Amino acid sequence: MSTQVELERTESWKLESQYMGYTYDIKVSIPREEAPENGFPVYYMLDGNSYFQLGRDVVKLQSRNAPKTLITPAIVIGIGHYGSDDEVSKRRFYDFTPPAKQYVYPDRLKNADIGPHGGAEKLLSFLELELMPLISEKYNIDQHKQVLFGHSLSGLFVLWTLFTRAELFQYYLASSPSIWWNDHEILVYAEAFYKKGQTIRSEKRKLLITVGSEEAFMVDDAKGLFSKLCEYSLPDLQVEHYIAPDENHASVVPTIMSRAFRMLNC
């Protein structure tokens, strides 16, 4: 006889966004421990369908020995989509890509039905004005230790958020970001971020860019962005880069998650 398995100390709810006209699958993992004086750090996991449970388990297991792992008890939030794989895929192209007057597609996408795109501004409004205030109201969180994690297209969104609204999070974790999107348009946002002299008010931000060594052109893209950001040398932005040996686009996230989460306390 089988029974339904539930994740310990995990809440799940639907959140309808007025900005997106869409209902998100929100999952929240809450530590057993009492919150520290400043509240718990919080990890916002984009593509929560795929990565919430992995992030939850990294924190749950490694926070048991925080002095060695450098991962402390934290709230982990998954922001997921509903629907079939095809529906989720199209929704990702909309949610995680910046608006543009025109789009340039690589050959592999020219005949593909990827649905509409350019919804990143609305998704950022959802995060800032709908989800994050609700999280602050419901849970005891540290407002100065908020992390945004994304992989692939959602990794692109992590970068775009940093370059357009850096003050929203303190830690940005971009795994295999789709820097290639719209003919590498994210580099234009990076340059604008630099030219504005966007020193990040009151506290430093950190960015970690990771990629698997077997991800072909994405390795060069990640290296190129890292080099450009090092060249800009913004005083209030610490940038790190890591290439995971022998990992591809599908396998890289489990191998970099611990390293990424440690960044909060390094």
- Asked if the model's pLDDT at residue 133 lies above 80, the reply is yes
Best CA proximity match to 92, nearest among 20, 44, 43: 20
pLDDT of residue 2: 83
Q: Per-residue pLDDT for 201 more than 60?
A: no
pLDDT above 80: residue 203: no
* Catalytic-role residue among 29, 117, 215, 247: 215
In 165-216, which residue ranges form alpha helices assigned H by DSSP?
A: 181-184, 186-195
Domain 10-265: which topology? Rossmann fold (3.40.50)
136 is a catalytic site residue: no
Residue 202 falls in the annotated catalytic set: no
Q: What is the pTM of this model?
A: 0.96
Q: Active site residue: 152, 154, 175, 176, which one?
A: 152
Overall average pLDDT of the 199-220 stretch: 89
Q: Percent of the chain at pLDDT above 90?
A: 88
- At residue 33, the pLDDT reads 93
Instruction: Supply the pLDDT for residue 257.
Output: 97
Question: What pLDDT is recorded for position 199?
Answer: 57
Q: What is the pLDDT of residue 118?
A: 97
Q: How confident is the model at residue 84 (pLDDT cuts 50, 70, 90)?
A: very high
Residue 197 has pLDDT above 80, yes or no: no
Find all residues with CB under 8 Å of 113, minimum gap 6, and list them: 90
Query: What is residue 6's predicted lDDT score, i.e. its pLDDT?
Result: 85
pLDDT of residue 202: 59
Query: Any catalytic annotation for residue 175?
Result: no
pLDDT bucket at 198, cuts 50 / 70 / 90: low
Whole-angstrom CA distances from 37 to 33, 106, 262 are: 12, 49, 20
> What's the mean pLDDT when you consider all of the chain?
94
% of the chain residues with pLDDT over 70: 98
Q: Are residues 241 and 220 in contact, defined by beta-carbon separation less than 8 angstroms? A: no
Residue 9 has pLDDT above 80, yes or no: yes
The catalytically annotated residue of 17, 214, 249, 258 is 249
- Find the mean pLDDT for residues 166-195: 96
Q: What is the pLDDT of residues 86-105, one digit of tens each?
A: 999 999 999 999 999 999 99
H/E stretch holding 54 reads: helix 48-62
Sign, Cα dihedral of 80, 81, 84, 88 = negative
